[in-house]
Amino acid sequence: MKTVEYMRVPMNTRPRCLVLALLPFLIHLSSYGTGIQDMKAMEKKVQSAVKRAVPATVSVLAQNFAGSGSGVVVSEDGYVLTAAHVVGNASAMDLLFPDGSRKTAQVLSANFPRDIALMKINEEGVYPFVEIGDSKQLKITDIVIAMGHPGGFDARRSPPIRIGRVYMPGEKRFIITDCTLVGGDSGGPLFNLAGEVIGIHSSIGGSLASNNHAPTHAAKDHWEDMKAGRNLGNNPFATWDPDGPVIGVELRNEDGHVVATRVRPDSPADKAGLEDEDIILKINNRTVSEFEGFIRQINAKKPGQKVALKVRRGEETLDFSVRLGRRGDIFGNTPPGRERQSPGTPRRPEFEPSDKPGFLGALFIDEEGQVTVTEVIEGTAADQAGLKPGDKIWKVDGRLIGTVDDLRRSMDAHRAGDKVSVEYERDNKREEVDLVLGERPDAGR
């Protein structure tokens, strides 16, 4: 995922950039007769809110794979709000603070229908935090501030700031705003002008300027239950139900779209005519922009029922009717890696070739025309090969890599257990290393 450079500036220049960021809104307000003093007052409110919010806005990373989102610390002793789909079925997540410090947090619970989750930092301490505001008081056209870590954590900048307006207050479902969100923002905070968090980023709507946020009252109203570990609603990630519905496609999020990474042979999707790299635009006439939302739509059905998909393939837009299959018939009756073995069965080799996509085990950004490593996950192929943050990837298997998309396509062409050669640059010196890809988590549905 490409990092979106909203405000990649030194900290001491932020106030000037905030003025520039506010200009469209100031002009909008002035056209309705708002005086210059009112505009200056609003500018000060935004600056004050951002100053408090930045240290508490964290990047949230799954511990065993390169999934990432955002979150916000909401208490001095380390309670953290994020999106339920960011934590999924995980019991713990890693948090990266804007100052570069890293902590581990226990996942306590989630309100799954409202897509909001609660975590608690394991290490005792005093943490930067923001207050939870009253999201029930939001009104249409209220000015709000969105923050997060688009594209993942980037040590060279603080969490980017986006300012927008409320389209729908979110009393019964989601807050809808025109604050731009991209991949990596999920779980990040939405603030009012008092600097209180009143929403948690849930999903991108029909466009980048129409986005959904879980209202914080969905957690605040059930705070004691959530602290005690009691979930609200059913966790779609909780169990591997062999009788659950699937279409037989492995998915990925890419630039606000859901892309079919791999269509399983003889699966319902394959029989319906879907192909690898098809972009899924809608399911049952509802726009989908993240595979988590697509999964929720599938999980609401039963095997044997049909779903209508609108798909983009190249320049064409195609419609498909897919009859859902049974998960156990396509992906197996037990989660991958948890198959029971009879006594005396030799342990499976760590990098046995499989049909799962290959996983390198690092996070990357596009930087000055090159792919740069920003994070290496412990115990993965990248870690074992000695890759480090700051390394620049030049080639994979002798083919030039110019963008993160190039690297992703290269990895998608490999299965777990495949050996690949990676040429990288460190300290102006190029090195080449051979590594064996591990397995990445299965997002198949």
Same domain, 14 and 129: yes
- Has residue 123 been placed in a domain? yes
Confidence of residue 288 (pLDDT cuts 50, 70, 90): confident
Cα separations in angstroms, 361 against 64, 226, 367, 375, 396: 9, 32, 19, 9, 15
Q: Residues 324-333: what's their mean pLDDT?
A: 76
Residue 352 located in a structural domain: no
304: tokens are 């044997």
For 216-225, 355-364, 413-422, 431-440, which range has the lowest pLDDT when averaged over its residues? 355-364
Residue 217 lies in a domain: yes
Q: Are residues 179 and 59 in the same domain?
A: yes
Mean local confidence (pLDDT), 223-227: 92
Task: Please determine, for residue 41, whether its predicted confidence score (pLDDT) is greater than 60.
Answer: yes
Compute the average pLDDT of residues 236-262: 73
**Of 20-24, 53-57, 220-224, which range is least confident?**
20-24
Q: Is the pLDDT of residue 119 over 90?
A: yes
Q: Is the pLDDT of residue 340 over 60?
A: no
Residue 349 lies in a domain: no
- Tell whether 313 and 395 lie within a shared domain: no
- Statement: residue 181 has pLDDT above 50: yes
pTM recorded for the entire structure? 0.52
Q: Is the pLDDT of residue 282 over 90?
A: yes
Q: Is the pLDDT of residue 232 over 70?
A: yes
CA distance 264 to 61: 28
Residue at 343 is within a domain: no
Domain shared by 233 and 249, yes or no: no
Query: Do residues 196 and 269 share a domain?
Result: no
**Is 345 within a domain?**
no
Assess whether 204 and 315 both reside in one domain: no
- Could you tell me if residue 212 is inside a domain? yes
Is the same domain home to 221 and 297? no
Q: What is the CATH number of the domain that holds 194?
A: 2.40.10.120
Domain containing 209 equals 1-238
Choose the weakest-confidence range: 164-173, 204-213, 251-260, 429-438: 204-213
Token pair listed for 420? 């690949």
In the chain, % helix, strand, coil (3-state, to 5) comes to 20, 35, 45
Indicate whether 213 and 157 sit together in one domain: yes
- Which residue type, as a one-letter code, is found at position 206? G
Return d(Cα 424, Cα 118) in angstroms, integer.
39
At 208 the pLDDT is 59
Say if residue 411's pLDDT is above 80.
no
State the pLDDT at residue 15: 34
Return the CATH number at 380. Answer: 2.30.42.10
Residue 258 placed within a domain: yes
Contacts of 130 (CB under 8 A, 6+ apart): 52, 53, 56, 72, 73, 74, 189, 191, 195, 196, 197
Residue 141 confidence (pLDDT): 87
Asked if 64 and 203 sit in the same domain, the reply is yes
Last residue of a domain, one of 223, 238, 253: 238
In this structure, how many other beta carbons lie within 10 angstroms of the beta carbon of residue 10? 10
Under 8 Å between Cβ of 320 and 260: no
The residue length of the chain stands at 445
Domain end (from 180, 214, 238): 238
Q: By C-alpha distance, which of 194, 72, 201 is closest to 133?
A: 194
26 and 159 together in one domain = yes
User: Within this chain, do residues 181 and 226 fall inside the same structural domain, yes or no?
Assistant: yes
The domain boundary, picked from 217, 238, 259, lies at 238
Query: How remote is the C-alpha of 274 from its chain's centroid?
Result: 25
Query: What total number of domains does the chain contain?
Result: 3
pLDDT band, residue 257 (cuts 50/70/90) = confident
- Same domain, residue pair 234 and 250: no
Of 177, 231, 184, 221, the residue nearest 199 (C-alpha): 177
